[in-house]
Amino acid sequence: MTGFNRHYLFAGLVASLIFLLPELAMAADVAGEVVREALPAPKPTRADYMSVGGMSSRTLVWGLAQMHLFLAAFVLAVPFFVLCIEFTGAVTKDQRYDSMAHEFMKISMAAYSFTALVGGGLAIALFLLYPTLMGYMMKVFQGQTLIYALLFLLESVCLYIYFYSWQALRHGNRKWAHMSIGLLLNTVGLTLMFVANAWASFMMSPSGVDVTGAITGTVWEATRNPLWNPLNLHRFLANIAYGGAIVGAYAAYRFLSSKAADVRAHYDWMGYTSNIIAIIGFLPLPFAGYWLMAEIYAYSQQMGITAMGGVLAWLFIIQAVLIGTILLAANYYLWCGLGRTDRGKLYEPYVKYIAAVMVGGFLVWVTPHSLILTPQEVQMLGGTHHKLLGPLGIMPAKNIAVNLMLVFTFLSFQMFYRSNRIATVSWAAQGNAFVVALYVIGCLNIFAAGIYGYMTPTVYKVGASVPQVISTLSIIVFAGIIDYFMYRGSKRTVVNWGRMSTRSQYALFVLPVAFTWLMALMGYIRSSLRTHWHVYTVMKDNSPEAYIPTIGQAGNVITVITLAFMALILFIFWLSSLGATKQADPAGTEKAGASS
């Protein structure tokens, strides 16, 4: 097969999978055309809720759902970037990429069965403890639930074929066949996630039903509810960042536990790649989150205010602490990485300035607007807001901080990228001046748009964040493009993989812990927005726990879930390294047998 045909076939497969599979998953739309009884949503009484052994039903379902989401995010993300790495290996003909991609898959394989087990547990718990709600959801989504089960089966088949055929389909045209299986796996996986997201987002912003909850539309109308796509995008990006962070921790674990220089070099490279994956997924994530929140406000002002103007607003301060931790850890790892090259020390003097921006941005982000104060404190402060720090509590200041932190994280990455390259193009000095000017003007624009936000009413404040986002993305995209051309064919210096401090590896451990905690926290916020509704404004929750959990209680629950997941991940890491361990034959019979 010629190269052209091969690419053509691969591209054709990509296109057909993208268009056909999601259509299949939503095929129940056709079934939805069949007239359904327009009965209102059920109104469950206390007697309709079962309790097992005095246990809190909500906490049980909460724990299982969150754990399932962690595992699913991980096992859906890994095949996605594994396919990208495999593709890079096939194009560059560098076997190291292929081996690394295979090793990434190996880690996720052990997690896959846990995902299915916890998912099964969640389904049983939901049907047992919330039968009326589940009955209603089944009526709304009908055959789509069966398609979900079918997709799950297809996902398993694709995953096992993809993993076990790795060595059999490693070279030449077979490699393209293997990547096509990977593509199928990813398409099925993404469709699974989109379907599950439709159910979760329907509970927040129901569509295809009237005010009483009576089904008036098709399954597709219920699926395509206002929050579905913002949630799809947010979870897709978050999964990549999360998956990258977890495999990064695995690489750090193997780096620290091995003594051989070549093994440490391999896992250092793997850790670096994982960190880059996490950063790539993370950089656009705040913007996707912003879109989701804007859509929540657009759908229901009340829901938006519950999230950001009420008691839950304080959790966004904790969110800022966790995101700040993630950015500081990812940057710290990149700064340590400058030590891998001899030219890295040229860039080290700039690290302190980047650190100042990161810490400054972090402090602005965690500054609260409304303070919980005693009357004495209000008197001492001279009002409910601090005179100097109060203005830092509102969105324009935080948007400046977040955007600058993202820009400077990209700068940290760019410095490492440049540290082993010497540009040979004649216009290198001018090109560099062009990039520096881009950063200067772009950052000034982020500041200016923030100050504009202070001068305008709320509706314009939200609008002013758009130029900030575009400025950040412009800096990243244009600086990336200019660097690509400036360093194409550059002189390379040696990268001493493995020349990393132990401390840097702990930064890789910080990432998944902070990510897990953050996801659990935001999951609590998202679910709490429904307040006392199972399905917002349509089906009331009449269980004894139909209230928003207190912050303290939620803090305890999400911390326990995070710890449980970390313990499970350590077990998965241990299983993966166990699979690579071979006991030496004490009697030497293996050798004797082989030679006889």
The footprint of other proteins (CB under 8 A) covers 429-430, 433-434, 436-438, 440-442, 445, 448-449, 452, 455-456, 460, 463-464, 466-467, 470-471, 474
- Give dist(CA 301, CA 203) in Å, integer: 17
- Give dist(CA 296, CA 290) in Å, integer: 10
Residue 481 CB, nearest distance to other proteins (Å)?
14
Residue 452 CB, nearest distance to other proteins (Å)?
5
**If DSSP codes are grouped into helix, strand and coil, which group holds residue 533?**
strand
Residue 471 CB, nearest distance to other proteins (Å)?
6
Residue for token pair 């760019």: 414
Residue 214 CB, nearest distance to other proteins (Å)?
37
**Of 27 and 448, CB closest to other proteins:** 448
- Give dist(CA 372, CA 352) in Å, integer: 35
Residue 446 CB, nearest distance to other proteins (Å)?
10
- Give dist(CA 124, CA 144) in Å, integer: 18
Residue 25 CB, nearest distance to other proteins (Å)?
34
**Of 258 and 474, CB closest to other proteins:** 474
Residue 478 CB, nearest distance to other proteins (Å)?
9
**Of 393 and 442, CB closest to other proteins:** 442
Contact 170, 178 (CB under 8 A): yes
**Of 208 and 453, CB closest to other proteins:** 453
Residue 501 CB, nearest distance to other proteins (Å)?
34
- Give dist(CA 118, CA 64) in Å, integer: 6
**Of 397 and 518, CB closest to other proteins:** 397
Evaluate the CA torsion angle 369, 375, 377, 380 in order and state its sign: positive
196, two tokens: 């599950």
**Of 99 and 474, CB closest to other proteins:** 474
Burial 461-496 (b: 16+ CB within 10 A, else e): bbebbebbbebbbebbeebeeebeebbeebeeeebe
- Give dist(CA 282, CA 267) in Å, integer: 22
Evaluate the CA torsion angle 95, 101, 105, 108 in order and state its sign: positive
**Of 429 and 560, CB closest to other proteins:** 429
Which alpha helices (DSSP H) does 165-300 contain, by range?
172-204, 219-223, 228-257, 261-282, 285-299
Residue 380: how many other CB atoms lie within 10 Å: 9
Residue 415 CB, nearest distance to other proteins (Å)?
19
Residue 300 CB, nearest distance to other proteins (Å)?
22
**Of 172 and 463, CB closest to other proteins:** 463
Q: CA dist 72 to 12, 246, 415, 480, 568, Å?
A: 28, 13, 34, 32, 13
Q: Which residue type is seen at 96?
A: R
One DSSP character per residue, 229-266 reads HHHHHHHHHHHHHHHHHHHHHHHHHHHHH---HHHHHH
**Of 38 and 436, CB closest to other proteins:** 436
191, two tokens: 């469709």
What phi and psi values does residue 151 have, to the nearest 5 degrees?
-65, -35
Q: Which residue type is seen at 62?
A: W
**Of 455 and 570, CB closest to other proteins:** 455
Residue 294 CB, nearest distance to other proteins (Å)?
12
| Number of helical H runs and strand E runs in the chain | 21, 4
Residue 485 CB, nearest distance to other proteins (Å)?
15
- Give dist(CA 273, CA 508) in Å, integer: 11
**Of 81 and 290, CB closest to other proteins:** 290
**Of 157 and 462, CB closest to other proteins:** 462
**Of 68 and 461, CB closest to other proteins:** 461
Burial (CB < 10 A; 0-12, 13-18, 19+), residue 191, is buried
**Of 460 and 485, CB closest to other proteins:** 460
Q: CA dist 272 to 252, 507, 571, Å?
A: 10, 11, 23
Residue 48 CB, nearest distance to other proteins (Å)?
47
Q: Which residue type is seen at 152?
A: F
Residue 228 CB, nearest distance to other proteins (Å)?
24
